[in-house]
Copies of this chain bind each other. A is one copy, B any other.
Amino acid sequence: MEATIKENVFKTIGEHLSDEECEAFSELPFQKSYARKTIIADEGKVCKYVYFITKGAAYSYYINEDGDKNVIQFAIEGHWITDQYSFFSGKKGIFMIETLEDCEMLVFSKESIDNLCRGSHRIEHFFRILVQNAFAALQYRLTKTNSETAESRYLEFAELYPHFLNRIPQYLIASYLGIRPQSLSRIRKELSEK
């Protein structure tokens, strides 16, 4: 079983998996490599998998009627990524998922997740807490989006995810913050002049 995922479980629920649970986690997903700039989940199609990144970086986004990209989430080693809505409902997706770097991933189908959860109460617990944490973080992010200026959102982003800054192109960070690349460029200039 991947060490990264073992750590992720412990970090999330503060408990270690049993030997059988570890075995289930190594047998059910399959490993896959993706080159950078590969689209691994496509809007309009059902998103059939949840991805756990063991190496590399990826992001999910949404394209609106005007054709603008809207970044939802960045994910690197030790992070999970999927189109939640599509994955769990089985309906066609609304998000794209694309790699930013060459990636190694553990790929879980819905059956894998369901089997893992059905087979172990602790694992179901793990996934509940995982989503709960993500939900709380997202609520927090939304309040900031609704009430802070782009500058303070950028500063908070830079503080929360300093390792993202050198790894993710600026125009995607701008999109994540809900502004245009030009605006982020200007904000960074202002900040550097202070």
Contact B178 A146 (CB under 8 A): yes
Q: Nearest 10 pairs between A and B by C-beta? A: A146-B178, A85-B136, A128-B128, A84-B136, A135-B135, A62-B143, A64-B147, A70-B147, A131-B131, A70-B143
Mark each residue of chain A from 132 to 168: 1 if its CB lies under 8 Å from any CB of chain B, else 0.
1111101111110111100000000000000000000
> Does A184 have its Cβ within 8 Å of any Cβ on chain B?
no
Shortest CB distance A43–B (Å):
12
**A148–B145 CA distance with the chains assembled, in angstroms:** 13
Contact B132 A88 (CB under 8 A): yes
Interface of A is mostly: helix
> Does A39 have its Cβ within 8 Å of any Cβ on chain B?
no
Contact B145 A142 (CB under 8 A): yes
What residues make up the interface of A, taking CB atoms closer than 8 Å to B? 62, 64, 68, 70, 72, 84-85, 88-89, 94-95, 117-118, 121, 124-125, 127-129, 131-136, 138-143, 145-148, 175, 178
Contact B139 A84 (CB under 8 A): yes
In this complex, the member of A118, A121, A136 whose beta carbon has the largest number of chain B beta carbons within 10 angstroms is A136
In this complex, the member of A70, A127, A140, A143 whose beta carbon has the largest number of chain B beta carbons within 10 angstroms is A143
**A134–B132 CA distance with the chains assembled, in angstroms:** 10
Contact A84 B148 (CB under 8 A): no
What are 30 of the A-B contact pairs (CB < 8 Å)? A64-B147, A70-B143, A70-B147, A84-B132, A84-B136, A84-B139, A85-B136, A85-B139, A88-B133, A88-B136, A89-B136, A117-B125, A121-B124, A124-B124, A124-B128, A128-B128, A128-B131, A131-B131, A131-B132, A134-B135, A135-B135, A138-B142, A142-B142, A142-B145, A145-B145, A145-B146, A145-B178, A146-B175, A146-B178, A147-B178
